[in-house]
Structures are given as C-alpha cells and as structure tokens.
C-alpha cells in the first residue's frame, strides 16, 4: 500500500512538473513573439532588444519551479519583471508571469508567509511607477500596479481556502465512515460472540449439574458446547476475514437459520416456540440479516436474564413489512449498558424500520421489530 501511494505521488509530481513546463513554454513563446508588436503601440517605451528578451526568458522559465519553490520563483520573477519595467520596456505578456507567481504563492503557502512575500513583491514592482528609463506612470500608476498583486493574491487565497474546506470535508467523511465501520464490526462481533458464549455458559452449567448423577446427559451438554463453540468460531472467522479483506461478508445468516438457532438454544436449556405466519419468501440480504440478529440477540438476552426455560418467536411475512417478535415470561430484562438493544435498534432503523422493547402485556419481556420488505435505498 505504501509503495502504491509513493508511485501515485511520484506520478502526480511528474504531471505537475510537465504542466508547469508547458505553461512556461507557452508564456515564453507569447513573450518572444508579442512583446515587439506591443511596443509599437506604446510610444515612449524602450525598443525591444536582446536584454528585453533575456528578461522575458528568465521570468517565464522561472515558472517551471513554481510548485517546488513558490517564494524563490516569485523572487526571481519579481526581479526580472521589475527590471523589465524600470528599463522602460513596453507592457506585454511578461506581466502574466508575475500574476502566475503571485497566485502560486497565495495557493501554496499559509496566509501569513504568502502575504509577506506578496507585499515584498508589490514594493519591488512599484519601483517603476516613480522611476523608469521610459515614461513613468507616476502616482496614478500605484492603483493599477497594486492590482497586479492584489487580484491574483486574492484569487489564490480563495482557491486555497476552498481546497482546504474540501479536504476537511473529505477527512470528516472518512472519519465518519471509519466510525460506522467500527460500530458495524463491534455489532457483528457482539452478536456472534455474545450469543455463542451465552449458550456455552448455560450448557456448561447444565453439564456441571448433571455430571454427578446423570453423566450420559452431561455428555450431551458437553457435545452441545463443542458444536456451539465451533459454529461461533466459524462465523467469527468469516466476519473477521471479511474485515481484513475490506469486502462484504459472503454468506450471512438469515431467517432460514432459525431452526438451527432454536436447536442450539434447546441444548442450552431454552425451548423456543417458533411460529411463522404469512408466505415466507426471499428477503433483501440486509433485512434478512437484521431480522435474524434481532431474534438471536433477543433470545440471548432471555438466556442470560429472564431465568425461564421457554420463549416464543413470531415471524410474520406481511405484504409490505416483516415483523419479528420475541417474548418470554421471565422476570429479568436486559441492562441499559452494552451493545444489545442499542445494536438491534440501530440495525433496524438503518433499514427504515422500527424496534420496540419492554415489558410484555402478560408479563415478561417483549422485543418487536418491523422491517420494510425492501431495504431503504
């Protein structure tokens, strides 16, 4: 990854250097070809000679290093253009090099050093206003002379500010995406590991209770522990593998696995009465996963907190929404802390659904989730 970034950075630098060279060549040709005709329309200026063309060449070729050394480039261009004007040569394309150099300083440097460099350039460039071999513009020339600095400097600052705003927005978006991904991973790990450990803990308690008097039944509980731990590890391995690869998970659990979930919980001592109404049909992957996780987490909470041996799960396939409901007759309820209920609610609301959790009408605890059949786009 680092090598790829270095190659991309190197390629970007080469493109910038090529663009600066092309700009310098265009301005050089323009200066060499257009300065003479410009002088013929400006009486009182010094005739174009070799010195004039040399200063044009120096000012334009200095732009090839404007991104690498913006202050040095501005210094060279300022001296060349100021000398050009003081010697009385005609206004011409060479002034464009000064505009580009000032703009570059404003774009590439922080505001304070950029302002200092631009102010120094302005002081030097205004020398010709009061002293020149040709006709000096005098005091009326201060305003247009200052505009050669103020306008490109203001434009450069505006461009730099906009770039910084865009960069901050992108960084904030990347941070939010990273936070959302961490939360998603935490929810997945919580769902996989939390359910598996709760079932294993209950199965271990059963095995310890049965071992002295009914070892053959204790062996069945230990077998269930082995099976549950393998299943949890396999699902965790799939989840973490997808995270490392930066891809979406492959096969994900859905409502089709409810029978396997019920069997696993039966081994932990929780009998689950599963009732399905409506016409079962394929669901969007995100909806199917969210519904399964709600049932899994709710039953895990029953196993941990309710101190009952039975729970009921209802799945209703409606025309426009899917309803899953888990109820028990226990005396406990999930604590406020942790990822359980909060994770369920975030999963459901992210898909445009709703989740309610609280005491049931006949006692115990009830978790009910409504999910649209089509995931929110």
| Weakest mean pLDDT among 1-10, 39-48, 345-354 | 1-10
Reading across the β-sheet that carries 365-372, which strands appear in turn?
Answer: 271-278, 310-317, 321-328, 365-372, 354-359
Tokens 């369920």 locate to 344
Distance CA 156, CA 150 (A): 10
Please give the C-alpha separations between residue 192 and each of 14, 111, 123, 197, 232, in angstroms, as whole numbers: 49, 52, 70, 9, 6
CA angle (261 as vertex; 258, 262 as ends), nearest 5? 85
Distance CA 132, CA 146 (A): 17
Distance CA 316, CA 274 (A): 11
pLDDT in tens, 65-115: 999 999 999 999 999 999 998 888 888 899 999 999 999 999 999 999 999
pLDDT at 8 over 70: no
pLDDT at 246 over 60: no
Q: What is the mean pLDDT of the chain?
A: 81
Neighbours of 179 (CB within 10 A): 10
For the chain, which residues make up each domain, given as ranges? 2-137, 175-372
Domain covering 175-372, topology: Heat Shock Protein 90 (3.30.565)
pTM given for the model: 0.56
The model's confidence at residue 364, banded by pLDDT at 50, 70 and 90, is: confident
Q: What is the DSSP string of 271-305?
A: EEEEEEEE------HHHHHHHHHHHHHHHHHIIII
The model's confidence at residue 127, banded by pLDDT at 50, 70 and 90, is: confident
């Amino acid at each position: 990854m680092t090598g790829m970034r270095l190659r991309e950075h190197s390629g970007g630098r080469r493109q910038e250097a090529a663009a600066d060279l092309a700009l310098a060549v265009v301005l050089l040709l323009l200066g060499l070809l257009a300065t003479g005709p410009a002088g013929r329309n400006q009486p009182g200026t010094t005739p174009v000679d070799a010195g004039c063309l040399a200063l044009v060449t120096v000012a334009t070729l200095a732009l090839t290093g404007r991104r690498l050394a913006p202050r040095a480039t501005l210094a060279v261009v300022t001296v060349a253009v100021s000398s050009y004007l003081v010697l009385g040569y005609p206004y011409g394309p060479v002034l464009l090099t000064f505009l580009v150099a000032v703009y570059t300083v404003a774009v590439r440097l922080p505001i304070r050093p950029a302002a200092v460099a631009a102010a120094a350039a302005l002081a030097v460039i205004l020398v010709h206003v009061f002293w020149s071999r040709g006709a000096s513009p005098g005091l009326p020339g201060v305003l247009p002379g200052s505009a050669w600095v103020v306008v490109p400097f203001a434009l450069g600052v505006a461009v730099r500010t906009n770039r910084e705003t865009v960069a901050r927005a992108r960084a904030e978006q990347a941070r939010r995406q990273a936070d959302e991904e961490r939360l998603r991973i935490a929810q997945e790990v919580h769902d996989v590991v939390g359910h598996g450990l709760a079932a294993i803990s209950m199965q271990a308690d059963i095995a310890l209770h049965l071992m002295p008097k009914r070892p053959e039944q204790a062996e069945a509980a230990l077998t269930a522990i082995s099976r549950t731990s393998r299943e949890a590890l396999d699902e965790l391995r799939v989840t973490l593998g997808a995270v490392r690869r930066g891809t979406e998970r492959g096969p994900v659990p859905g409502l089709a696995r409810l029978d396997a979930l019920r069997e696993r919980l039966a081994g932990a001592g929780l009998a689950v009465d599963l009732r399905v109404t409506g016409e079962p049909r394929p669901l969007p992957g995100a909806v199917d996963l969210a519904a399964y996780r709600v049932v899994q987490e709710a039953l895990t909470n029953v196993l941990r907190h309710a101190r009952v041996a039975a729970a009921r799960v209802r799945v209703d396939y409606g025309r426009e929404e899917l309803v899953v409901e888990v109820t028990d007759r226990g005396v406990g309820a999930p604590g406020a802390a942790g990822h359980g209920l909060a994770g369920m609610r975030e999963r459901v609301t992210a898909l445009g659904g709703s989740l309610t959790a609280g005491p049931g009408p006949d006692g115990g605890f009830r978790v009910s989730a409504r999910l649209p059949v089509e995931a929110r786009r």
